[in-house]
Structure 1
Amino acid sequence: MSTDKEDLDVAVEDLNPEDEDEEPRVEVAKTNLSKRRTIDNMLEERRLKRQLADFDFDL
């Protein structure tokens, strides 16, 4: 029983040709997280504004 997964022999060293310096990736992750939080906050604000506009104040 042969599968295509057998053809995927890749050495771990080939995946990261740079040094073991992980600092740039950490900065990118922090930046991406910051951007994601900003986007989430904007979407939440839009959702709340939409709910407020749809709310029936004549209870």
Structure 2
Amino acid sequence: MSTDKEDLAIDEEFSNTDEDEEPQAEPAKTNLSKRRTIDNMLEERRLQKQLADFDYDL
């Protein structure tokens, strides 16, 4: 650690470009919806495979 005091340069011309843009919430909802659809399809396939492999002659 340095004990010398250093002057820090502050960039006061910082511009936030995100203020002009719309929030990006819609793609997250879309991705979640797609993921749920995929999960449901995979679950259905897994259950169908279990039914096909089930030994009904117990």
TM range (shorter): 0.5 to 0.7
Task: Name the residue aligned to 1:45.
Answer: 44
Percent identical residues: 76
Displaced runs of 4 or more, over 6 A: none
> Greater CA radius of gyration, 1 or 2?
2
In 1, Cα distance between equivalents of 2:17 and 2:25: 15
TM-score, with structure 1 as normaliser: 0.63
Equivalent AA in structure 2 for residue 45 of structure 1: E
Equivalent AA in structure 2 for residue 42 of structure 1: M
Q: How many residues align?
A: 42
Equivalent AA in structure 2 for residue 34 of structure 1: S
Q: CA RMSD, aligned part only?
A: 1.6
Q: 5+ residue gaps in structure 2?
A: 1-15
Q: Per-residue deviation at 1:18?
A: 3.8
* Structure with greater helix share of residues: 1
